[in-house]
Amino acid sequence: MMNKVSVVIPFFQRESGILAKALSSIHSQLVPEDWSVDVIVVDDGSPCSVQDEVRHIKFTEALRLKVLRQENSGVAAARNRGLDEVDQETTLIAFLDSDDIWMPDHLARAIAANGCGFDFYFTDNRRPGHHDSHVRSNCGPLTGKFIEAAQQKNGVLEIPTDFTVGLILKEFPTQASSIVYRRGIAPHLRFDTRLKAAGEDVLFFAALATTAKRVGFDLDSYVECGGGTNIYFGHLSWDSPRFLAIKVDQLLAHHLVSKMIMLSPLNKEWNDAHVVECRRTFGFHLLRNLAKHPSRVPSAICRLVRKVPLAALSLPMDLFHAIRIAISGRTQSMET
């Protein structure tokens, strides 16, 4: 009987050739002979044409392509459209962002890990110009410490499910393109489309990890993250027009985590404290923009009121806290 991996790719790019590289990396996968791969590309109103990107890639019965088109609705909606199209016979689901690429062994190692009982698999990733390893850089200190303590040099390292949830909330080592999971553990789980600027992946993968019986982390890196159009990484400067929207959605994501996911006492304590931190960070950057870009402030406040009403009620207190921070000169902790 043929097993199947379904790969969901949300596509919105302004530069040609990016998706072609991602698809070529799937075409190069060394999957076992009794496995097939369905590639589902969701064209989310992309300025670049999908057809131009796929014309030089040969698809076969074992590597099939489906292209779906929709009006631009954001990455969460695009991934959900792809998940809705996944064949019910699919064993594993993988995500690949359209500007990322996989090393040739990525799916084979995920399939082998699944055969060993890991129903949630992820691997390290590199981002040229930023880090060669997410978990061995400043991005993932807690994950790095866990790996060092395990003293395992290669292969797939098991990470306790609850600890994985905490890592996702605190430092997010589970970049979307590094994830492969067994469809059966959460066939109806979808991304929250209210989160358009940030946080949709944190909420989804934290919820996904709670459904897993065994989580495996591949100590070798099989994912390279690219530098295409990205509404999150492209707007991380506080001066960016979308920065306040990112801060609101990060706050909403962790607010939803508290409401929707059964967290352990330690993870709940951390997440509740982080919600307060997100509120105060938003207040701090709201004041910053009030001084330099006052026209952005009303829409940011409206977004907060609409998306996180309870946080909006606390805004005066958070602004007062931000003013105290500014007066004392202790701005470093609020910078990110």
User: 227 pLDDT band (50/70/90 cuts)?
Assistant: confident
Domain presence at residue 336: no
Sequence-ordered list of residues with C-beta below 8 angstroms from that of 55, at least 6 positions apart, any chain? none
Task: Give me the pLDDT at residue 88, please.
Answer: 93
Task: Give me the pLDDT at residue 51, please.
Answer: 87
**Token pair belonging to 242:** 């979308």
313-321's contacts with Cβ under 8 Å and 24+ in sequence apart are 314/279, 315/279, 315/283, 315/286, 318/279, 318/280, 318/282, 318/283, 319/283, 319/286, 319/287, 321/280, 321/283
Residue at token pair 């496995």? 35
Residue ranges in 92-213 assigned as alpha helix (H): 106-115, 141-150, 161-170, 200-211
Torsion of CA 198, 227, 102, 195, to 10 degrees: 10
Boundary-marking domain end, from 172, 198, 224 = 224
Same-domain status, 203 and 260: no
Domain presence at residue 75: yes
234-243's contacts with Cβ under 8 Å and 24+ in sequence apart are 235/197, 236/336, 238/285, 238/288, 238/289, 238/335, 239/292, 239/293, 241/293, 241/296, 242/197, 243/285
Same-domain status, 203 and 307: no
CA distances from 94 to 64, 82, 176, 265, 319 (A): 15, 11, 8, 30, 42
In the chain, what's the furthest Cα-to-Cα distance?
68
User: 84 pLDDT band (50/70/90 cuts)?
Assistant: very high
Statement: residue 142 has pLDDT above 80? yes
Tens digits of residue pLDDT in 238-254? 778 899 999 999 999 99
Structural domain tally of the chain? 2
Domain presence at residue 241: yes
Task: Give me the pLDDT at residue 232, please.
Answer: 55
- With beta carbons less than 8 A apart as the criterion, state whether 67 and 33 touch: no
CB atoms within 10 A of CB 43: 25
Task: Give me the pLDDT at residue 251, please.
Answer: 97
> What's the pTM value of the predicted model, to 2 decimals?
0.93
Same-domain status, 128 and 180: yes
Q: What is the mean pLDDT of the chain?
A: 92
- First CA to last CA across the chain, in angstroms? 50
Statement: residue 57 has pLDDT above 90? no
Q: Which domain holds residue 320?
A: 236-329
- With beta carbons less than 8 A apart as the criterion, state whether 124 and 221 touch: yes
User: 231 pLDDT band (50/70/90 cuts)?
Assistant: low
Tens digits of residue pLDDT in 270-305? 999 999 999 999 999 999 999 999 999 999 999 999
Residue at token pair 């949709």? 200
Same-domain status, 122 and 267: no
Task: Give me the pLDDT at residue 297, please.
Answer: 95
- With beta carbons less than 8 A apart as the criterion, state whether 34 and 6 touch: no
CA distances from 128 to 139, 211, 225, 309 (A): 14, 32, 7, 39
Domain presence at residue 18: yes
Task: Give me the pLDDT at residue 276, please.
Answer: 96
Residue at token pair 């670049």? 48
Tens digits of residue pLDDT in 12-48? 998 889 999 999 999 999 999 999 999 999 999 999 9
Task: Give me the pLDDT at residue 234, please.
Answer: 53
CATH of the domain at 37: 3.90.550.10
Tens digits of residue pLDDT in 314-335? 999 999 998 887 787 655 555 5
- With beta carbons less than 8 A apart as the criterion, state whether 1 and 85 touch: no
Same-domain status, 144 and 243: no
Task: Give me the pLDDT at residue 1, please.
Answer: 72
